Amino acid sequence: MKKEFIIAGNWKMNKTVEESIDFIKELDDKIEANEGVRILIFPPFTSIYSISNLSDKIKIGSQNIFYEDRGAYTGEISPLMLKNLVDYVLIGHSERREIFKELDSDLNKKIKTALRHKLNPVLCIGETLEQRERGETLKRIKKQIDEDLKGLKAQEIKSIIFAYEPIWAIGTGETASPAQAQEVHGFIRKLLEEKVENPEDIFILYGGSVKPENSFDLLSQKDINGALIGGASLKVDLFSAIIETSCKIAK
Ligand code: 13P
C-alpha cells in the first residue's frame, strides 16, 4: 500500500517575520510538490500573516489557540483571528502542558473549538522519562487520549492528526528507537480502533529529535505517518532532506 506522509516543522519561539519569509521562499524553491507528502510549518503567531500565502506547497498552522472566540483573555489568540490564515493548529504540545500548565480538560476544549471553526487539530501526546522508566508509557498515552478526546464524535476524531512526542526525546538529541516509536504508534492506532472506523486512515506523526540521519528508519515504520520536527525544521537544508526522504518512501 502506498504510504502518505505529513512532514511538519514546529518553529516554537524562533524566527522573526523576515527570517520566516526567507525560509519559506527558500524551502519552496528547493522542494518538488509531491502528492504523497503534505508539508506543514507552525511559525510564531507574528509570522503567520506574512507567510500564509507565500507557497502552494507549504501549509501553515498555529502553535496554539484559545478556546473562547473573544473576550478579556490578554495574550490569547482566538480561532476567529486564525481563520483563513491557517488550516492546522497544534494542541497540547508538551511545552504547553509542562511550562504553561495546560490541562487535558483545557486541551479537550481547545480541540472542540478548533473543530467548530474547521481548523485541523494536531494533538500532541507523550510520556516523561520517569513515566517511561516506571513502565507507564502506554497507560499515560491512554489517559491523555481518553481525556483529550472526551465527548468527541467519531467523525470529529477522524479529522485530528496525532503526534506522539516522548518528552525525553524533545530537543535532547535522544530519539526513540524506531521500534520504541512503532510500539506506541501501534498502541495509539489500537485505541483509535475502538473510537472510529478505518483508524488506518488517521495520521500519527512522530516527534522528538527527528533529523535527516534517523528519518528513514522512523518513517519506514508501519504506523508512523510523518514527523513533527523542532530543531531540524529551523534549517532549510535539514528540513528539506527529511522531506526528500519521505518522498522516496511515499513513492
Ligand atoms: P526537536 O525535534 O527539537 O526534538 O523537537 C520536537 C518537537 O517538540 C516538535 O514539536
pTM of the model: 0.97
Going by DSSP bridges, is the β-strand pair 204-207/120-125 parallel, antiparallel, or unpaired?
unpaired
Distances from the Cα of 174 to the Cα of 132, 208, 209, angstroms: 14, 8, 6
DSSP 203-226: -EEEESS--HHHHHHHHTSTT--E
Residue nearest to atom 7 of ligand 1 (CA): 230
Q: Is the CB of 210 under 6 A from ligand 1?
A: yes
Q: Is the CB of 228 under 6 A from ligand 1?
A: yes
Contact 216, 173 (CB under 8 A): no
Q: Is the CB of 64 under 6 A from ligand 1?
A: no
User: Which residues of the chain fall below pLDDT 50?
Assistant: none
What are the tens digits of pLDDT across the range 49-86? 999 999 999 999 999 999 999 999 999 999 999 989 99
| 222 Cα: distance to centroid of ligand 1 (angstroms) | 21
The pLDDT score that the predictor gives to residue 174 is 85
Distances from the Cα of 15 to the Cα of 21, 30, 79, 116, 249, angstroms: 9, 19, 22, 30, 30
| 113 Cα: distance to centroid of ligand 1 (angstroms) | 25
CATH (residue range 5-250): 3.20.20.70
The pLDDT score that the predictor gives to residue 33 is 87
DSSP state of 233: G
Residue where the block lists cell 483545557: 106
The pLDDT score that the predictor gives to residue 251 is 74
Catalytic center residues? 93, 165
What are the tens digits of pLDDT across the range 10-24? 999 999 999 999 999
DSSP 89-142: EEE--HHHHHTS---HHHHHHHHHHHHHTTPEEEEEE---HHHHHTT-HHHHHH
Q: Is the CB of 123 under 6 A from ligand 1?
A: no
